Structure 1
Amino acid sequence: MIIIHALRFLKLKNVKTNWIKDKYLQKFKSDPKRNVKGFRVDIINELRVNVSRHQAYRAKKAALKQLEGSPEWQYSRLWDYSEEIRKTNPGSTVIVGTEQVDGEERFSRFYVCFGALKAGFKAGCRPIIGVDGCHLKGPNGGILLTAIGVDPNNNLFPIAYAVVNKECRETWEWFLIVLKNDLNIIREHEYTFMSDKQKGLMQAFEEVFPGCDHRFCVRHLHNNFKQAGFRGLAFKNALWNAAKSCTVGEWKMRMQEMKNLSQQAYDWFNDKPAVQWSRSHFSEASSCDMLLNNVCETFNACILDAREKPILTMLEWIREYLMRRMQENRDKSCTKWKDKLCPKIQQILQKHANKVSDCMPIKADDFHYQISCFDGSQHCVDLGSKSCSCRKWQLSGIPCKHACCAIYHQKQDPKDYVADCYSVDTYRRVYKPAILPMSHEGMWSESCIIPPIPPNFGRRAGRPAKARRRESDEPTLKNKKKSKRKQVQKIKRHQTTVHCRTCGNLGIIQPSVQKEFHLQCRRYLKTKLMTEATINMEGTSVRAGKRKAPTNAVNRIERDRDTSTGTQGANILHLCNL
């Protein structure tokens, strides 16, 4: 009877989904990503009640819905959220876009640019902006468009972001037009944009920023290069060498190397202007030699958890993240940074200064130097205009090794020649504005505008994919450890030219003749030592290194050679005579 009651207790029917949801609501609030398997283990250990996997899943779903609200409720509060941002953060731009579908206002787009980010970018960031789009993995899908700048420490600086239903030319044009008005961009040729070939982005740039300097991410360019059939380390090195070339002459030389490697690979770049992917043709106005759109990729990775949430929860998560980031960087620069330059810039400058020993300066006057390097290159440095013929100084704003050599010859500090956009004072001006906090959603003022309904989102069959799509030649997570082991390649013995330990001669030791080969060397060495001992005993004074074996020892070696059978003995003697 006791056993029967115990089994009934394990299958208690009074433990419903709503009861489990109410009991563990606070745990899901602190850890929303708690998996169902661990949740079931917690229930069994605490309550001694058996709960099915589907019941635990329904309880978790109901708890998250109560904490975050339904998608319909979240979209209905977007107008209230936009009004609250304008109220608490003056100078911010918030746009809510809707469209008429069957007589109803359906959500179309949402744009946010905080006044603090706008003011910080104008205060000291360089005129370079990376744009990118990433998929949202929440219940209603969508695309998140981002515009990211570069701060004085070469870190990302978010400027604006927008949520749209799909990525196309129309949405990109709308996003770029609003961004252009927010940043008050008038001289388009002074700005540099970096992106990938997103859907409709090329046409949008031609329409909104026709005179800007537009760069492409070289990593994505290399992926397209591989998809065209040009795989392997040789093609990869040829592409990156051409992209890293800072002068037109060096770029032509690298492209000629690619042409010698493959004419088809060289022709693949005919419709890809070098101004879009090579430093040799980059403009010097942005003081940035960036080849990768890492700022956007890094921001997308930082908000990875937020991209799985409903729209209002996601927007609040991003706002709080940006608010904390502005405050942390502001405090860090004021309390920890005591030098003139930002830490990453100091590391780059120190790396250039360590290579000064490779250069020899010849002074022409107080500002002009001729720098000769041990690799045969020769460059001209002008300290007055802060330029070098290698163009690395002009592209980055940081003195190259040739400039550091000339500056040290003047007995000056290279830090004084770094561009002002990298100083700690500029960094503090960038992060001085603050994103102000907001009150709880229950205290927001209600807008009189008709609230939108969620967009139509056709969910595909099966569980939604959340993992990043990997390249064809990129190792998976399961084989990550194996791929690291494969990076250490062992050279096979039959492919290596080695030296004999005994005689020191060159030769390729094959396993079949290895034992007999060293046997012949030992015989020769033994005969040589015995001969030298005999000569020393007879009192013959011969200089070391010029002693010769007597005739009987030479005859003994010849006899061993004649007694060797087959081609094996001939190969052994040939290796000894190398």
Structure 2
Amino acid sequence: MEEFRIAVRTYGALNGYNLKFKCNDRKRAQGVCKVGCNWRIWASKLGSNEIVQVKSYTPEHTCTRSQNNRHCNYIFLTNKYLEQFKADPDWKTKSILAIVKDDLKIEISRNVANKMRKYAKELLFGTMEEQFGLLRRYAAEVLRSNTGSTVMISLHEQVFKALGQDTTDCIYPMAYAVVRKENTDAWRWFLKYLQEDIKIGNGRGWTLMTDHQKGLHNVCEELFLEAEHRFCDFLWRATKSTTVAEFRQWMQKISEVSEEAHGWLLKRHLQEWSRSHFLEHSKCDILLNNICEVFNKTLLEDREKMILNMLKSVQMTFMKRIQ
């Protein structure tokens, strides 16, 4: 009888009718439409076997289609459009809304569309629990196929990454991690392994360019005592000055406009944001963190994926970038 019920619900969903069942049990079921509508269907099992026979059917509707069809839930819609999800696992919510409206002449909410995306990923790639269960196999394969790599497994959720700049001033990805929450402990965990893997030591000869992530600046100062640590968002004229005299000239102009801004800037470590105070042993003069911002954009879609698919996609992005 369950297949019969599914068939009736599917008919209702595709044609815009909110059907329901009367006399609904293991051996029989009657499908009806709204009160006053003539449409109905009756079916029951034949004897003791599993064969279901339609005994009577009145196909004409005397009611109007419903714009809010309760049969068009996310499970039904996901199964209807599963081939589309197979072709495009990252099918966008906006596109889903438009296609469903055009095909079925109904409007679904963004919440239903988002549930469709989540359910489709479970059908195609497994549940979150199943994906986490495969992480150790994935880690073993990464270590087997990428000699010298480091793989650590823990239960986290946000994405961290470390990027370098090669001799042509292009992005060179080095490490990434998925963490539960962005805080000092998470950054310390990430940077300690990075420090160990690429042999940064106390940071001498290295330049660290960061944004103002929670706890990151403190951890950099804690682990890399001799590294230059720079930010990317202070005043350009003073920032780009290459001599101390030029720097003082522009700082004087800032002081004339705002004593408060001038005092605030002087509280920052000058070697973090002005070329005039960069250490001589460092051969890097970058002031912006644009390489991280650009690379962040390439990872936006990956963040929405399930854990194993996300890791695979980020790994492929790193490999293509290095090539």
TM-score of the alignment, normalized to the shorter chain, above 0.5: yes
Superposition deviation, residue 207 in structure 1:
2.1
Once residues 56 and 266 of structure 1 are traced to their aligned partners in structure 2, the CA distance between those partners, rounded to angstroms, is 51
For 1:34, the equivalent position in structure 2 comes to 91
2:108 to 53, 70, 74: 53
Superposition deviation, residue 173 in structure 1:
1.6
Q: Tell me, yes or no, if the aligned pair for 2:239 and 2:275 is still in contact at 8 Å.
A: yes
SS of 1:292's equivalent?
coil
For 1:337, the equivalent position in structure 2 comes to none
Amino acid at match of 2:291: V
In the alignment, does 2:212 pair up with 1:194?
no
Change (3 A) 1:9 1:166: same
1:85 to 142, 148, 157: 142
For 2:198, the equivalent position in structure 1 comes to 183
Q: Tell me, yes or no, if the aligned pair for 1:37 and 1:53 is still in contact at 8 Å.
A: no
SS of 2:321's equivalent?
helix
RMSD over aligned Cα atoms: 3.0
Higher Rg of the two aligned structures = 1
Q: Tell me, yes or no, if the aligned pair for 2:173 and 2:321 is still in contact at 8 Å.
A: no
Which fold has the larger relative contact order, with Cα–Cα distance below 8 Å and residues 6 or more apart in sequence?
Answer: 1
Change (3 A) 1:204 1:249: same
What 5-or-longer segments of structure 2 have no aligned partner? Answer: 1-37, 40-58
Once residues 70 and 181 of structure 2 are traced to their aligned partners in structure 1, the CA distance between those partners, rounded to angstroms, is 46
Q: Tell me, yes or no, if the aligned pair for 1:215 and 1:276 is still in contact at 8 Å.
A: yes
What 5-or-longer segments of structure 1 have no aligned partner? Answer: 98-106, 109-141, 223-238, 328-578
Change (3 A) 1:13 1:185: closer
In the alignment, does 2:222 pair up with 1:207?
yes
What CA deviation, in whole Å up to 9, does each residue of 1:38-82 have, x standing for no partner? 435545655xx4555266665444222212322222222222211
Change (3 A) 1:171 1:51: same
Change (3 A) 1:295 1:71: same
1:270 to 266, 273, 294: 266
Given the two structures, how large is their TM-score scaled by the length of structure 2?
Answer: 0.71
What CA deviation, in whole Å up to 9, does each residue of 1:538-566 have, x standing for no partner? xxxxxxxxxxxxxxxxxxxxxxxxxxxxx
For 1:314, the equivalent position in structure 2 comes to 310
In the alignment, does 2:158 pair up with 1:143?
yes
For 1:240, the equivalent position in structure 2 comes to 236
Once residues 237 and 137 of structure 2 are traced to their aligned partners in structure 1, the CA distance between those partners, rounded to angstroms, is 52
Change (3 A) 1:253 1:28: same
Change (3 A) 1:9 1:191: same
What CA deviation, in whole Å up to 9, does each residue of 1:91-111 have, x standing for no partner? 1110113xxxxxxxxx24xxx
Once residues 273 and 57 of structure 1 are traced to their aligned partners in structure 2, the CA distance between those partners, rounded to angstroms, is 46
SS of 2:175's equivalent?
strand
2:320 to 324, 340, 350: 324
What CA deviation, in whole Å up to 9, does each residue of 1:386-415 have, x standing for no partner? xxxxxxxxxxxxxxxxxxxxxxxxxxxxxx
Once residues 14 and 272 of structure 1 are traced to their aligned partners in structure 2, the CA distance between those partners, rounded to angstroms, is 61
Amino acid at match of 2:125: E
Once residues 262 and 17 of structure 1 are traced to their aligned partners in structure 2, the CA distance between those partners, rounded to angstroms, is 57
Question: Percent identical across equivalent pairs?
Answer: 37
For 1:258, the equivalent position in structure 2 comes to 254
For 2:13, the equivalent position in structure 1 comes to none
Once residues 244 and 281 of structure 1 are traced to their aligned partners in structure 2, the CA distance between those partners, rounded to angstroms, is 10
In the alignment, does 2:299 pair up with 1:303?
yes
Amino acid at match of 1:39: I
In the alignment, does 2:152 pair up with 1:156?
no
In the alignment, does 2:67 pair up with 1:67?
no
Q: Tell me, yes or no, if the aligned pair for 1:242 and 1:254 is still in contact at 8 Å.
A: yes
What CA deviation, in whole Å up to 9, does each residue of 1:505-547 have, x standing for no partner? xxxxxxxxxxxxxxxxxxxxxxxxxxxxxxxxxxxxxxxxxxx
Superposition deviation, residue 26 in structure 1:
2.4
Change (3 A) 1:281 1:303: same
Please show how residues 294-443 of structure 1 align to structure 2 within 5 Å. Answer: 294-327=290-323
SS of 1:214's equivalent?
strand
